[in-house]
C-alpha cells in the first residue's frame, strides 16, 4: 500500500518536473558545477517523502530553510577558513527561500553557494602553496587558532591570509619537530596542498548534491538520509557484508589506484597475480578496449573494476616496486561474490581465574547487524546474516570450546537490520516479544522472536559503549529486560528510531524514467547505453526515511536515553558531544504500554552484588585510575582552540606529553609483568590490553560464582 501511495506521489512530480529552473549565478574563475535534471527530481521527491511519510510529519517552512542554510554553510566551511563575511552576507538571500526552492526542485542557489566555496578553496590553497617556501621565525611567541567555529567570519582577504600563513607555519613546525630536513618539509607540504587542489578538482554534481541533501535531511532528523547512487551501493554492500568484484581493497596514491589489501578467498587472492602495493593503470571489460584510469576519482575506478559475478575484467598492472613508466602487466580475472568476513561476527575464547577457580569464556564480537536481503529474497540458503553467523559461533563455543559463559561485544556497533536484532535476541531468550514498533499513524506492533528454544541458555553478558546504537540497543535492552544477562559498559547512543530504505528508481514509473533519461541525454549529461542499445535510465539513489520508533518490551523508548548498563564504566567518548541527546533535530523520549512478556529471571539482587564486587576492584585498579586520568585530560584538551607557534615551546609541550604517556604506559606494563618500553618503541600486538573486556570477564566470573 505504501509503495502504491509513493508511486502516485512520484508520478505526479515527474510530470511536473519540466518547469523552467532559475538561472544559476555564475562564479568567475572556477568550472561552475550545475545540478542534473534527475537531481532536481530527487530533491522534489525527498521533500514529498519527508512531508508525507517522515515520522515527524513535518512541513518545510522558512524556519527549516534557515536551519538548512546554516547546516550547509557549516558543512562546507565549519572552520571558517574559506568564506569571508561578505560571502556569508550574500548567502542571506537564500535564508527563507530554500524550502520553496527544494519543493520545486530548484537547486541553483545551493549550487551557486558551493561554487563560491570552490573559488575560495582554490584561492587559499594557491595562497598556501606560495607561502610554503616563505621564511618563518619559529622563535616568535605567536599562536595558531585552529578551531574558529565560535569566532566571527574573517572580514577581509588579508585576515584570511594571516590565518592560512599561520596554518602553513604550524604544519612546517610539526615536521621540523619530527626531525626531517627543511627542504624535505617544504616538499612534503607542497605535495600535500597540490593533492588537496587535485582532489577538489575531481568533485562533481553528485558530490555537491550529496552535501546539500545531507544538510537538508539532518535538519529534519539525524537518521533520515539520502544516498546518491554510489553511496547507496556502498551502504547496501555494507549491510550485506558482501559485494561482487575481484576481492581487493583499493586506495588513491598520487593520482594512481593502488591495491592496499587482497581479500582472502577472492579472485585476486586465488589468481596469485596481484599483491598489495600493485598499481592499476588501465581497465577493460571482457575483451573490450582498455581505459586509462590514472587521475580518475577512486569511486569511478572502483566502479569499473567491480562488476557482476561471472563477468571478466582485464587490468593493466604496474607491480609494486616498479617505476610507473614500466611496461604494464595485463591480467584477466573473473569476478565473484566476495564475503567480507573481517567485518562479520567473530569469536575468541579467553580464560579467567577468580577465587581459585578457572573459567573459559567465549567472546563474540558483532560489528553490525547485517543481512544480505538480496540473496535471502533470491532463495540463497547460505545468505549472509548476523544471526546465522552468531548461531554457528555459539555452536562451536558450546560443543567444541566447552565455554562456561558467553559475552557479546557490541561496542561501536551502530546497529543495522531491525529483523536481525530480533532474531539474534531469540538465540538467547527463545520465544517471546523483543521490541515494540510505533509507526507514523501511532499504531504499535510487537515483534517477537520465534525460536523454540535458546541456542545458549548459560551465563551471558553484553558489552556496550556510547557508540552502541539502534539494533544494539534493541538487543541489549531486551536481554536486560528479560533478566537474561548482565549489560556492561557505558550508556548507549540513544537511537530509538526505525528507517525504511527506499530505492527511488523503484517508485518511479519506468516509462517516465525513460523520458527523463532521454532528456538527460539530450542535455549532454553522463548517460550510458543499455545492452539493447537504448538509453539506460539514470540512477536516482536511495533514501533511508525515519518512519517509526521502537520501544523496549517494558514500554520505554531508547530514544535519547539509550540503555543504561548494569555495570557502568567511564566513557572514553564525550557524552555531551556524542549521542542522540546531543542532536537538535532528534525525536523526544516517550513510552508506550508494556508488552506481555515473561522475564527469564529477576537479576535485581545479583546485580547489586555484582556492582559491589566491581566497585571494590575499581577502588584498587591502576587501569581504572589511569582511564579516569586520560578522560579528564581529554576533556581538558577539548576546550583548547589554539596552539603555540614557538618551536621550542611546542616541542617542550609535546615531549612532556609523550613522557607522561610513556610513564603511564610503563606503570601499567609493570603491573602486568611486562618489560618497560623505551621512547619511540611500540608494544607488540600480543601485548594489547582491553581493560573493559578484562573487567567484563571478571564480572562474568562473579556472576557464575554468585549463582
H helix or E strand, kind and range, residue 145: strand 143-145
Instruction: Quote the DSSP letter at residue 581.
Output: G
Nearest-angstrom CA–CA distance, 459 and 475:
16
Q: 657 CB contacts (<8 Å, ≥6 apart)?
A: none
DSSP string, 356-412: TEEEEEEEEE---B-B-HHHHHTT-TT--BHHHHHHHHHHHHHHTS--SEEEEE-TT
Task: Give the cell for residue 82.
Answer: 574559506
Nearest-angstrom CA–CA distance, 576 and 579:
7
Provide the CA 140 distance to its chain's centre, in angstroms. 41
Burial (Cβ within 10 Å: 0-12, 13-18, ≥19) of residue 58: middle
Phi, psi of 333 (to 5 degrees): -130, 150
Q: For the beta carbon of residue 261, count every other beta carbon within 10 angstroms.
A: 13
Nearest-angstrom CA–CA distance, 124 and 576:
33
Nearest-angstrom CA–CA distance, 565 and 580:
17
Q: What is the dihedral of CA 214, 217, 222, 228, to 10 degrees?
A: -50
DSSP string, 200-240: HHT--HHHHHHHHHHHHHHHH-TT-EEE-HHHHHHHHHHHH
Residues with a catalytic annotation lie at: 470, 481, 495
Check: CB of residue 240 under 8 Å from CB of residue 375: yes
Amino acid at each position: 500500500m505504501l509503495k502504491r501511495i509513493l508511486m502516485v506521489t512520484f508520478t505526479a512530480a515527474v510530470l511536473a518536473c519540466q518547469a523552467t529552473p532559475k538561472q544559476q549565478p555564475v562564479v568567475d574563475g572556477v568550472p561552475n558545477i550545475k545540478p542534473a535534471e534527475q537531481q532536481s527530481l530527487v530533491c522534489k521527491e525527498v521533500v514529498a517523502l519527508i512531508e508525507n511519510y517522515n515520522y515527524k510529519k513535518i512541513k518545510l517552512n522558512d524556519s527549516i530553510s534557515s536551519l538548512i542554510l546554516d547546516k550547509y554553510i557549516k558543512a562546507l566551511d565549519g572552520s571558517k577558513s574559506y568564506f569571508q563575511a561578505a560571502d556569508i552576507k550574500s548567502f542571506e538571500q537564500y535564508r527563507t527561500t530554500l524550502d520553496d526552492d527544494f519543493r520545486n526542485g530548484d537547486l541553483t542557489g545551493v549550487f551557486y553557494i558551493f561554487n563560491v566555496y570552490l573559488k575560495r578553496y582554490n584561492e587559499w590553497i594557491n595562497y598556501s602553496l606560495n607561502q610554503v617556501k616563505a621564511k618563518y621565525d619559529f622563535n616568535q611567541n605567536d599562536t595558531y587558532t585552529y578551531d574558529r567555529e565560535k569566532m566571527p567570519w574573517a572580514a577581509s582577504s588579508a585576515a584570511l591570509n594571516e590565518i592560512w600563513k599561520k596554518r602553513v607555519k604550524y604544519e612546517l613546525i610539526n615536521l621540523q619537530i619530527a626531525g626531517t630536513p627543511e627542504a624535505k618539509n617544504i616538499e612534503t607540504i607542497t605535495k600535500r596542498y597540490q593533492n588537496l587542489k587535485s582532489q577538489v578538482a575531481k568533485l562533481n554534481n553528485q558530490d555537491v548534491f550529496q552535501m546539500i541533501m545531507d544538510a537538508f535531511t539532518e535538519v529534519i532528523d539525524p537518521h533520515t538520509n539520502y544516498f546518491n547512487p554510489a553511496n547507496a551501493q556502498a551502504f547496501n554492500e555494507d549491510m550485506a557484508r558482501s559485494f561482487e568484484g575481484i576481492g581487493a581493497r583499493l586506495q588513491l596514491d598520487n593520482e594512481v589506484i593502488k591495491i592496499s589489501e587482497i581479500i582472502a578467498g577472492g579472485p585476486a587472492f586465488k589468481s596469485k597475480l596481484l599483491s598489495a602495493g600493485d598499481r592499476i593503470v588501465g581497465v577493460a571489460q571482457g575483451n573490450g578496449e582498455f581505459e586509462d584510469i590514472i587521475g580518475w576519482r577512486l569511486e569511478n575506478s572502483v566502479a569499473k573494476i567491480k562488476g557482476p559475478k561471472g563477468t571478466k575484467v582485464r587490468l593493466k598492472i604496474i607491480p609494486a616496486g616498479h617505476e610507473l613508466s614500466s611496461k604494464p602487466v595485463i591480467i584477466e580475472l573473473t569476478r565473484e561474490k566476495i564475503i567480507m568476513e573481517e567485518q562479520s561476527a567473530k569469536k575468541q575464547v579467553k580464560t579467567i581465574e577468580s577465587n581459585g577457580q578457572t573459567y573459559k569464556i567465549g567472546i563474540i564480537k558483532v560489528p553490525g547487524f547485517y543481512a544480505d536481503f538480496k540473496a535471502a529474497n533470491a532463495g540463497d540458503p547460505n545468505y549472509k546474516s548476523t544471526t546465522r553467523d552468531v548461531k554457528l559461533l555459539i555452536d562451536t563455543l558450546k560443543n567444541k570450546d566447552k565455554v562456561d559463559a558467553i559475552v557479546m561485544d557490541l561496542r561501536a556497533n551502530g546497529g543495522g537490520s531491525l529483523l536481525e536484532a530480533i532474531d539474534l535476541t531469540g538465540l538467547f531468550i527463545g520465544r517471546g516479544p523483543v521490541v515494540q514498533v510505533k509507526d507514523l499513524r501511532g499504531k504499535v506492533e510487537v515483534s517477537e522472536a520465534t525460536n523454540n528454544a535458546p541456542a545458549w541458555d548459560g551465563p551471558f553478558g553484553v558489552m556496550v559503549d556510547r557508540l552502541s546504537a539502534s539494533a544494539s540497543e534493541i538487543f541489549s535492552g531486551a536481554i536486560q529486560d528479560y533478566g537474561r544477562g548482565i549489560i556492561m559498559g557505558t550508556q548507549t547512543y540513544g537511537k530509538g528510531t526505525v528507517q525504511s530504505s527506499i530505492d527511488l528508481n523503484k517508485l518511479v514509473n519506468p516509462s517516465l524514467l525513460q523520458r527523463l533519461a532521454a532528456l538527460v541525454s539530450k542535455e549532454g549529461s553522463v548517460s550510458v547505453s543499455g545492452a539493447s542499445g537504448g538509453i539506460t535510465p539514470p540512477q536516482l539513489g536511495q533514501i533511508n526515511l525515519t518512519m517509526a520508533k521502537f520501544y523496549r518490551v517494558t514500554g520505554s523508548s531508547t530514544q535519547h536515553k539509550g540503555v543504561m548498563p548494569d555495570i557502568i564504566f567511564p566513557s572514553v567518548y564525550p557524552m555531551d558531544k556524542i549521542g542522540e541527546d546531543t542532536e537538535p533535530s532528534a525525536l523526544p523520549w516517550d513510552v508506550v504500554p508494556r508488552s506481555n512478556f515473561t522475564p527469564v529471571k529477576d537479576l535485581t539482587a545479583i546485580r547489586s552484588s555484582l556492582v559491589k564486587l566491581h566497585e571494590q576492584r575499581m577502588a584498587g585498579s591502576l587501569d581504572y585510575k589511569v582511564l579516569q586520568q586520560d578522560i579528564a585530560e581529554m576533556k581538558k584538551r577539548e576546550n583548547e582552540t589554539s596552539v603555540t607557534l614557538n618551536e621550542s615551546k611546542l616541542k617542550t609541550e609535546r615531549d612532556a606529553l609523550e613522557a607522561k604517556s610513556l610513564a603511564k604506559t610503563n606503570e601499567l606494563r609493570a603491573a602486568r609483568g611486562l618489560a618497560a618500553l623505551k621512547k619511540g618503541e611500540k608494544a607488540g600486538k600480543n601485548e594489547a590490553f582491553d581493560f573493559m573486556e578484562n573487567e567484563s570477564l571478571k564480572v562474568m566470573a562473579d556472576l557464575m560464582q554468585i549463582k
